[in-house]
């Protein structure tokens, strides 16, 4: 719960006073390396555009406002993430090379923790009011993760006090919206995904890069941009892009089953199975699961989208489900080349149907059907096809999948 009394911290409460007092003296009493002392000093004296998000964890995307001459090797963008005790982010983590190499707090972590934490209740180390700085970038005496102080204060309140952009749980992040609008303006459906990544747009000299950075740093510019590219047409463009990617994935699968050769003329930025030792069925099934996840996220983030776009989402899910069933349900083993048949002790990788529908996995529950149940009203025109599929898969799909399919059909009929 947010605290309405938070109005920002006095620098007196910050470990910056301690750092300034030690800036010229290397002191390893707290286990900090000389490099970490430099990172602490640089981080707390730097300035960044910050786009923060509250979800399962707290994440902060940082873009330097100006590149100082002595920090020319600093990455153009970094992401700091904080999580609760027991999570993989119970110690603050960063995506920059310095943190990855040292596995200790970098300048970005020092910067964020200096901005978001308060040390007013902490016991001072000496009469001069200094605080001990820890390896993971803060001065809290407690062993609990700094996540809990942020949770208590409220990240929205902290972000507002610093003028940062903020997205709450389930909200559509500003950076993601900016990329979505840029893809819509592009108009293409076969663009490489790397051209719309945060890493690329943060440093790209292109017009798209400039627009992306302005959208993150200037709320008024973002609002004007959104007026030119409303959510509905952007969603339509996004689903068209997914439709093309799904078609291409199945094209690759059919080509592989016929020839055993995965090489096609394609634009694909992800790892692909050109190495014939790779289990192609695993790669393809993971791609299809990712498409389902992308559709689920789009429906969740964009909230009240039109019935037309919901129908488009249902169409994409139905398309994947139907293709997997029709291509693999009744296929004989001799129809597949040995490189496609990946035998294992459990037989879970035999073909797409077995992997996606025939076996239930708590990590990937009920391929496509689970997502369809979030928009049952969009499935009315597909009810007859679903009923046909129900009779085909009963007894061959997992019991969990069959049960959820029955539930979906009932919800569409209601």
Nearest to 146 by CA among 191, 206, 101, 105: 105
Tell me, what DSSP letter sits at residue 388?
Answer: H
Burial class (CB in 10 A: 0-12, 13-18, 19+), 414: exposed
Sorted by where each begins, the domain ranges of the chain are: 11-167, 174-228, 231-413
- The pLDDT of residue 321: 92
List, for residues 21-44, the tens digit of each pLDDT value: 333 344 444 567 778 888 888 887
| Per-residue confidence band for 344, with pLDDT thresholds at 50, 70 and 90 | very low
Average pLDDT value for residue range 204-211 = 89
Strands of 165-167's sheet, edge to edge?
Answer: 93-94, 78-82, 58-64, 48-54, 165-167
For 313, residues 6+ apart whose C-beta sits below 8 A from its C-beta are: 239, 295, 298, 299, 371, 375, 378
The segment with the largest mean pLDDT, out of 17-31, 112-126, 324-338, is: 112-126
- The pLDDT of residue 120: 66
Give me Rg for the CA atoms of the chain. Answer: 26
For 264, residues 6+ apart whose C-beta sits below 8 A from its C-beta are: 251, 252, 255
List, for residues 251-274, the tens digit of each pLDDT value: 877 766 666 555 544 444 444 444
| Per-residue confidence band for 125, with pLDDT thresholds at 50, 70 and 90 | low
| Per-residue confidence band for 390, with pLDDT thresholds at 50, 70 and 90 | confident
Structure tokens at 325: 């069933």
- Please, are residues 279 and 341 in contact by the beta-carbon 8 Å criterion? no
Structure tokens at 38: 């430099």
Per DSSP, the residues of 83-112 read: --TTSTTSS-EE-SHHHHHH-S--HHHHHH
Please report where in the chains the tokens 């989402």 appear, as a residue: 313
Q: How many angstroms separate the Cα of 355 from the Cα of each of 48, 258, 369? A: 45, 20, 15
List, for residues 175-194, the tens digit of each pLDDT value: 889 999 999 998 766 666 66
Judged against a pLDDT cut of 50, whether residue 408 lies above it is answered with yes
Q: What global pTM score does this model have?
A: 0.61
Q: How many angstroms separate the Cα of 394 from the Cα of each of 35, 37, 387? A: 62, 64, 11
- The pLDDT of residue 94: 92
């Amino acid at each position: 719960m947010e605290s309405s009394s938070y109005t920002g911290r006095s620098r007196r409460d910050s470990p910056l006073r301690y750092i300034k007092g030690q800036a010229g003296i290397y002191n390893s009493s707290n286990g900090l390396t000389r490099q970490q002392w430099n990172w602490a000093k640089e981080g707390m004296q730097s300035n960044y555009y910050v786009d923060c998000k509250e979800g399962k964890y707290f994440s902060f995307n940082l873009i330097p406002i100006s590149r100082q001459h002595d920090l020319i090797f600093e990455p153009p963008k970094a992401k700091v993430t904080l999580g609760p005790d027991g999570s993989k982010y119970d110690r603050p983590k960063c995506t920059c090379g310095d943190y990855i190499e040292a596995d200790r707090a970098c300048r970005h972590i020092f910067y964020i923790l200096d901005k978001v934490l308060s040390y007013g209740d902490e016991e001072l180390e000496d009469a001069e009011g200094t605080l001990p700085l820890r390896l993971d970038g803060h001065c809290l005496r407690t062993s609990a993760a700094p996540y809990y102080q942020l949770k208590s204060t409220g990240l929205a309140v902290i972000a507002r006090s610093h003028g940062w952009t903020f997205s709450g749980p389930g909200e559509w992040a500003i950076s993601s919206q900016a990329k979505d609008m840029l893809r819509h303006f592009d108009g293409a459906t076969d663009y490489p995904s790397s051209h719309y990544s945060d890493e690329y747009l943060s440093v790209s000299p292109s017009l798209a890069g400039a627009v992306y950075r302005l959208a993150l740093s200037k709320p008024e510019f973002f609002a004007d941009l959104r007026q030119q590219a409303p959510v509905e047409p952007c969603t339509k463009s996004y689903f068209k892009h997914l439709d093309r990617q799904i078609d291409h994935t199945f094209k690759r699968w059919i080509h592989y089953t016929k020839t055993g050769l995965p090489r096609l003329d394609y634009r694909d930025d992800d790892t692909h199975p050109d190495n014939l030792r790779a289990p192609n069925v695993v790669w393809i099934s993971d791609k299809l699961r990712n498409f389902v996840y992308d559709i689920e996220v789009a429906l969740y983030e964009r909230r009240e989208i039109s019935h037309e776009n919901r129908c488009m989402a249902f169409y994409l899910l139905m398309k994947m489900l139907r293709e997997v069933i029709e291509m693999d349900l009744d296929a004989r083993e001799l129809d597949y080349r040995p490189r496609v048949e990946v035998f294992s002790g459990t037989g879970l990788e035999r073909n797409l149907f077995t992997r996606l529908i025939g076996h239930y996995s708590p990590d990937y529950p009920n391929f496509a059907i689970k997502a369809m149940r979030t928009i049952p009203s969009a499935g009315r025109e597909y009810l007859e096809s679903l009923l046909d599929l129900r009779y085909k898969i009963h007894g061959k799909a997992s019991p969990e999948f069959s049960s959820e399919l029955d539930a979906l059909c009932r919800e569409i009929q209601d």
